[in-house]
Amino acid sequence: SNSYLGCFVDRIGKRDLSTFISDYEQLTPKQCILACQEQNFPYAGIQYGNECRCGRQYGKYGQVSDDECTYNCSTSEKCGGHNRNSIYSVFNSIDTFTTGCYLYILCFTEKEATIESDVITK
């Protein structure tokens, strides 16, 4: 889809994408993109197949061949490599996700919030 922007170099210490979200055992690009979207970041990057990062810009260390982003996610999609980020555009992606799934995620969040507030009331 138009959301994949390419494979980019990263450096430990001064990361290309500033905000680390999480290490996921089974990450998909969609999960990372949604996590970055929640925090209003325009770019999502996945590295080592399981690390999700977000940023306002990307590419300060340059782009490399997609052959260097060969770690698989739990899906067959490419999810970075060793010090390599697979970069996705957050806002282009959101349009391409099916509305059903997106609504489901929102409903799920609301449902959890309701349960928590019930617990607090008791």
**Edge-to-edge strand order for the sheet containing 84-89?**
19-23, 51-55, 43-47, 84-89, 4-9, 63-64
pLDDT at 114: 40
Give the number of other Cβ atoms within 10 Å of residue 14's Cβ: 9
Cβ 81 vs Cβ 68: under 8 Å: yes
- Per-residue burial over 53-62, b = 16 or more CB atoms within 10 Å of its CB, e = otherwise: bbbeebbebe
pLDDT at 93: 67
pLDDT over 50 at 86, yes or no: yes
Helix, strand or coil, per DSSP, at residue 50: coil
pTM equals 0.72
Give per-residue pLDDT as tens, 28-53: 888 899 999 999 999 999 999 889 99
pLDDT over 50 at 112, yes or no: no
